[in-house]
Amino acid sequence: MVKLYENLIVQTVSRLLIPAMQIFGLYVIAHGHGSPGGGFQGGCILGASYILMLAAYDIAELKRHMSETLNTILCCTGVLIYAGIGLLCVILGGNFLDYSVLYKILPVDPVKARYMGMLGVEIGVGIAVMSVMISIFLNIASAGEHEGAAR
């Protein structure tokens, strides 16, 4: 339950800012090809939105939106997407992480297939960085005890 009249201004402003930060983080990941950005940068912005939620509210509120099991599964999924695309290129007949052989399953020509391979890889990196940022901050700020800590 959110306690009212405790940091009311910070909580209201963070309610407005957190969705805007998440949309901006997804924009930075998706437009990494035409403007400055990419996987690491967008992942940090997405992680920062959850850290703002942790700073304005308490740990129980964060656990409602991003549980610990989901966080750990997302962290492993990011690395798995990256290595999975590399292995997919080996299965289709090219070298490891050689995205130009992806034209066999995607309806594009080999030059554009490298573009699509890079996009998939950046999405994997962004997911991994977001969940690791949340996990490191949560464990260090609460010193390991997620239930008994006050803030």
* Binding-site ranges for other proteins (CB under 8 A): 32-40, 72, 75-76, 78-79, 82-83, 86, 96-97, 99, 111-112, 114-115, 117-118, 121-122, 124-125, 128-129, 131-132, 135-136, 139-140, 143-148
- Rounded-to-integer distance, Cα 28 and Cα 1, Å: 33
Least Å distance, CB 20 to other proteins, is 24
Q: Which is nearer to other proteins, 56 or 127 (CB)?
A: 127
Among candidate residues 108, 113, 150, 126, the one with its CA nearest the CA of residue 31: 126
Q: What angle do CA 110, 113, 117 make, to 5 degrees?
A: 145
Give the nearest distance from C-beta 10 to other proteins in angstroms: 24
d(CA 117, CA 139): 34
- Which pair of tokens denotes residue 82? 């990256």
Nearer to other proteins among residue 6 and residue 109 (C-beta): 109
